[in-house]
Amino acid sequence: MTEQDIRALGLDQLTSGLARCAMAGQLIRLEALETLLSDAGEDIGAREAVIAACKRHPDARWWLLRQCRYGVARTVHWATVLGEEVNQERRVGKFPPP
């Protein structure tokens, strides 16, 4: 997934006081997006819920504090960190299950 792909999803540059923090946050968000979108597969509702959950966190610091730690599978980590938000998006009726 490229930066252009991220922009096409409607996700803007993360906010931060330092350019290095913003860049690191972008990479962490990219990892989360790739992981969760691949888990969503072809389910349009799940994909939209993942994107909406990521949009809710425009601050680079949020992503830096929640980056995946050594020894934890990316899939498990991001499902734990953002899974509840994605499920909540689906429950409120914005993105119903197929």
What does the pLDDT read at residue 88? Answer: 81
Tell me if the pTM is above 0.95: no
What does the pLDDT read at residue 13? Answer: 78
Domain spans of the chain?
3-91
- The pLDDT tens digits for 38-48 are 888 888 888 88
What does the pLDDT read at residue 95? Answer: 53
What does the pLDDT read at residue 1? Answer: 67
What does the pLDDT read at residue 94? Answer: 59
Give the dihedral sign, CA 75/85/19/12. Answer: positive
- The pLDDT tens digits for 29-86 are 888 888 888 888 888 888 888 888 888 898 998 888 888 777 778 888 888 888 888 8
Helix H, strand E, coil C: the string for the chain is CCHHHHHHCCCCCCECCCHHHHHHHHHHHHHHHHHHHHHHCCCHHHHHHHHHHHHCCCEHHHHHHCCCCCCCCHHHHHHHHHHHHHHHHHHCCCCCCC
Which residues have C-beta within 8 Å of that of residue 69, sequence separation ≥ 6?
77
Given a cut of 70, whether residue 96 has pLDDT beyond it is no
